[in-house]
Structure 1
């Protein structure tokens, strides 16, 4: 995108600048029978390709709301407050410099943040590890994008045509129904989205709002164990019988195991990242700065309204809003992200490139001099925002020691054989710690991985189990963890552990009592121990240590004292453990 923007600027200021203008005014049409859709290339980019870009943004938002970071709504409060501040303050600063006339129409230019440029700048000037800050900024830009697209669709749209608008609403309702029914095939969604886009274009509402709304309505869900197992069996069948029909069945099985939302993201991300956004930059960043335009722009209140709104407004609105919300305990700031890093991210949010340029085209289409001045402001703001972000991150590292913005990776609570449940010699040279949820189907599979590891390493490995019940998704997990601890009080933790993972679909209280009887436990004592506060405190202590160690789901492994990131199949874990064997190279 940066390269495309530079090319656009050089082209627009070269002897061939007339060709640049002529290219984007070239008419192109699609005709089917008597129906025809005709626009110039500039509008095909801004109304067509950018709708696809916002569709992918909508897909990302829906996934985060359904199965990602935003499922815990308390985590949404701080970025929500920051996002609102990051739109209101910039708009007010812009209007303070441009309170009336045609220039006032540009207030929407400063409300958006360019997600792609923001993350690129973060990778260059931000902390070496910035995963948590990245999630915070993505959540923030999601809020920005929703509001910005709404502003585009409502404020900067042409005269509204009722008939096509009703058709667009009908298409949205179809997407709602398909989402509720969890339709797993991608083709029905694609067909409805195309109809929605065509209807929105004809209605006069800017098509970007259709893209965003459509993406928000495509469902996302976590993989279900039965679907994963079915996909594995179909793949095994294809391995044994490599026939076309069996291969198609295996392909459909693999597709069903992943939500349609994530499949569409996977298919469209490369196109939007490496084609759509660069083409947009090429079409919109070309400002002819010759003839004194640059000097004139630097004297224009529109240019400085954009610069101050994006750079100063985002820094104050986002940084101040996030820190104030955290100070008032309205929500939780991201774990591992310090105040200085929040300010650095707020500064980088002043890069408004994509959304800002799109709104400039809509707001100042009939006033070319204001269009050029505002574009200069956006380009200048991108440079200044990046510089301010770098200064903020350097200051945070130098004065507050904020050198990493990722989740913790070290095990916060050391393994204690007197406290922990250990399989294998307590003094073994290798340690593998697993945080489990007895209702998590993927944890049930990793118990087999643990046995394979113990067979491989023998007495050189101690395997440690800790609890991380996830009651929001597994309502029986806490009770099952207490049942394992109650069995452990009678010396049968591992027997109950193994039994619970083979009976994950039957974890009601009467089932747990039956398992205690099956294991020959004192059932009356078992029932009393289920209510013991010290056992409940033990489960809470495990969960707290998981949180402090950066574990966010199950299963999570720690090889030695370091959290394992990546696949957790037996061969991968064997390699990780081998690398930590005393005397291993490196």
Structure 2
């Protein structure tokens, strides 16, 4: 994230301001590459003269003892029932964050991926069961319902559009639904005989997690300790431990940083600068930690090791299929293998596309801005990469090593075919449907109009900087002085323009925007603009009236103008222009007519404006200077 950060009306993680999404994608892409390497190593090892050492390694027993008690499992189970719990715990953390402060807070954005996710599981399961309606093979239907998020994003980085932020968000939302259902299936359908005593302990742990959340406990250690006990209880209960990871992750609270906590951290940090003593250092570190929710801190700590260690190790332990002695030929003649291939490759693409198409046509919701139906088909095709979840379910669904091998061949073949199908679908969408980039618009719409926009500087200045702002957004206030620095640097070469984007998470923002416009009707817009940012915590009606009096406005006229529908329409026009221009948070800047991506400090914006000036000079044939 840039030093300034941003506010967001839906709290969605948008790439235009936040580095977190880009870091997430980079980590997932790296994980996908390591996963492929680990799977290839496993395949080569399992088919080499040293194949028995591969089998023996995963049957090696490992014990952890606590006095007379402890846990004893072979290495394969430690990975599938232990490390993978961490993997699902991280998924649970991400889901909780998305529902609490992320993309899924806006329930209208959930409908299309929800329907697509459900149909994207029902259609593959139906295809599989049509080919394997009975017998032990039918137990493998769960292998076709899940999607390997890391693998999907990694492949999309290779075969998808150059810019696909919006499609990635759509697919991440969809895979959240996949993950919840898949883990529920693992925990319920593929569990052994149940122990009621251990289940009672597990249930008590869940209650404790809820209590910790409600009590506002912000330290990570209590949550980690309870999750550890929950994992052990779930292992002993007979329910597969993956569900403990997912459910416990869902119960770890995710919150936006509170302004009071951030200010307290800043105060403690300043105190440490003045007095770098151990006690002050501990207090500063404690306040900094408290400002970030325990959910996000655990994600930060676990996401990279989970993606770069847990998932590749799982692939190494589970992808090693010995294809010798006719196993490959048997697999290609097996309804089980073809059920998995057709379920994942055809069923996922068809199910996700039909679910998205139907929900949009029926008016239940809409696709993210910048995402077309061609992108949905291509993303659905890539969702046929079930790898991690599919391999885990296969290890639970079948006792026969022959059936496991046939099913694993199906998963590996599906990963290759789904990647190819996704590549072809993206090419089709780009060539025949004109759906190339799956990203937010970057052009300012409509262009600056000095007759209605608020402009500082010459209206015909060669350089333009437009800011969408919210008077209650603390990050807007923090960069409010940037405009002054830029005008001082560029002089009459720059015009600075503001537009309103009052966010729904800020209850006083819209009234404050109307107040600025009402002051503007008395030629005091910029004075009210500065006053509102100086008093962000005091934006009630009586406060605004007080500011109007301080600025020597006609207060009665000001109050009448606060009810003026034309001013409300002006603000709604700005909000509509933000939506059309791809703005999702504040502050958002446009350099000329192009949305600025990245930090918005004065130095960065000066460099962007100078680059825009050089480009304009080249385009017009004017000397660059």
TM-score scaled to structure 1, two decimals? 0.97
Give 1:525 deviation, angstroms. 1.8
Give 1:89 deviation, angstroms. 0.6
**How do 1:395-434 and structure 2 match up within 5 A?**
395-434=428-467
**Of 400, 407, 410, the match for 1:374:** 407
- Corresponding position of 1:118: 152
- Residue 239 of structure 2 is aligned to residue 195 of structure 1: no
User: Secondary structure in 2 aligned to 1:70?
Assistant: helix
Contact in 2 for aligned 1:220/1:260 (Cα 8 Å): yes
Distance 1:401 1:256, change over 3 A: same
Give 1:574 deviation, angstroms. 2.4
- Corresponding position of 1:534: 566
- Residue 198 of structure 2 is aligned to residue 164 of structure 1: yes
Q: For residues 301-342 of structure 1, what are the alpha-carbon distances to aligned partners after superposition, in whole Å with 9 as ceiling and x for unaligned?
A: 000000011011101111110111111110121110111011
Contact in 2 for aligned 1:482/1:536 (Cα 8 Å): yes
Give 1:459 deviation, angstroms. 2.8
**How do 1:456-475 and structure 2 match up within 5 A?**
456-471=489-504, 473-475=505-507
User: Secondary structure in 2 aligned to 1:581?
Assistant: helix
- Residue 511 of structure 2 is aligned to residue 496 of structure 1: no
User: Secondary structure in 2 aligned to 1:343?
Assistant: helix
User: Secondary structure in 2 aligned to 1:580?
Assistant: helix
**Of 341, 348, 355, the match for 2:382:** 348
- Corresponding position of 2:478: 445
**Unpaired segments ≥5 residues, structure 1:** none
Distance 1:506 1:428, change over 3 A: same
Q: For residues 555-583 of structure 1, what are the alpha-carbon distances to aligned partners after superposition, in whole Å with 9 as ceiling and x for unaligned?
A: 11112222122222222222222322345
Write out the 4+ residue segments of structure 1 that deviate beyond 6 Å after TM superposition.
Answer: none
Q: For residues 163-182 of structure 1, what are the alpha-carbon distances to aligned partners after superposition, in whole Å with 9 as ceiling and x for unaligned?
A: 11111111111111222233
Contact in 2 for aligned 1:441/1:504 (Cα 8 Å): yes
Distance in 1 between residues matched to 2:172 and 2:57, nearest whole Å: 34
Residues 99-108 or 498-507, more deviating = 498-507
- Residue 423 of structure 2 is aligned to residue 390 of structure 1: yes
Contact in 2 for aligned 1:153/1:206 (Cα 8 Å): yes
Distance in 1 between residues matched to 2:262 and 2:591, nearest whole Å: 26
Distance in 2 between residues matched to 1:54 and 1:34, nearest whole Å: 30
Distance in 2 between residues matched to 1:44 and 1:525, nearest whole Å: 73
User: Secondary structure in 2 aligned to 1:251?
Assistant: helix
Distance in 2 between residues matched to 1:340 and 1:131, nearest whole Å: 15
Give 1:396 deviation, angstroms. 0.3
- Corresponding position of 1:510: 542
Q: For residues 174-223 of structure 1, what are the alpha-carbon distances to aligned partners after superposition, in whole Å with 9 as ceiling and x for unaligned?
A: 11122223322211111111111111111111111111111111111222
Contact in 2 for aligned 1:91/1:111 (Cα 8 Å): yes
Give 1:454 deviation, angstroms. 2.5
Residues 190-199 or 122-131, more deviating = 190-199
User: Secondary structure in 2 aligned to 1:568?
Assistant: coil
- Residue 38 of structure 2 is aligned to residue 38 of structure 1: no
Distance in 2 between residues matched to 1:509 and 1:245, nearest whole Å: 44
User: Secondary structure in 2 aligned to 1:466?
Assistant: strand
**Of 328, 334, 348, the match for 1:300:** 334
Distance in 2 between residues matched to 1:478 and 1:315, nearest whole Å: 42
Distance in 2 between residues matched to 1:485 and 1:152, nearest whole Å: 57
Distance in 2 between residues matched to 1:128 and 1:232, nearest whole Å: 39
- Residue 259 of structure 2 is aligned to residue 205 of structure 1: no
Give 1:255 deviation, angstroms. 1.8
**How do 1:176-325 and structure 2 match up within 5 A?**
176-325=210-359
Give 1:545 deviation, angstroms. 0.8
**How do 1:34-113 and structure 2 match up within 5 A?**
34-113=68-147
Q: For residues 400-452 of structure 1, what are the alpha-carbon distances to aligned partners after superposition, in whole Å with 9 as ceiling and x for unaligned?
A: 11110011111112111111111222222222211111111221111122223
CA RMSD of aligned residues (A): 1.5
User: Secondary structure in 1 aligned to 2:472?
Assistant: coil
- Corresponding position of 2:169: 135
Contact in 2 for aligned 1:225/1:442 (Cα 8 Å): no
**Unpaired segments ≥5 residues, structure 2:** 1-34, 619-623
Contact in 2 for aligned 1:326/1:333 (Cα 8 Å): yes
Give 1:244 deviation, angstroms. 3.4
Distance in 2 between residues matched to 1:323 and 1:189, nearest whole Å: 41
Distance 1:428 1:247, change over 3 A: farther
Distance 1:575 1:259, change over 3 A: farther
TM-score scaled to structure 2, two decimals? 0.91
Give 1:248 deviation, angstroms. 2.8
Distance in 1 between residues matched to 2:493 and 2:208, nearest whole Å: 58
Distance in 2 between residues matched to 1:244 and 1:16, nearest whole Å: 55
Contact in 2 for aligned 1:431/1:464 (Cα 8 Å): yes
Q: For residues 281-319 of structure 1, what are the alpha-carbon distances to aligned partners after superposition, in whole Å with 9 as ceiling and x for unaligned?
A: 000000000001101100000000000110111011111
Distance in 2 between residues matched to 1:475 and 1:521, nearest whole Å: 25
Residues 474-483 or 499-508, more deviating = 499-508
- Corresponding position of 2:584: 552
- Corresponding position of 1:455: 488
**Of 593, 599, 603, the match for 1:567:** 599
- Corresponding position of 1:362: 396
Residues 243-252 or 294-303, more deviating = 243-252
**Of 513, 517, 538, the match for 1:485:** 517
Residues 165-174 or 511-520, more deviating = 511-520
User: Secondary structure in 1 aligned to 2:110?
Assistant: helix
Distance in 1 between residues matched to 2:118 and 2:285, nearest whole Å: 43
Distance 1:257 1:51, change over 3 A: same
- Residue 45 of structure 2 is aligned to residue 11 of structure 1: yes
Distance 1:430 1:224, change over 3 A: farther
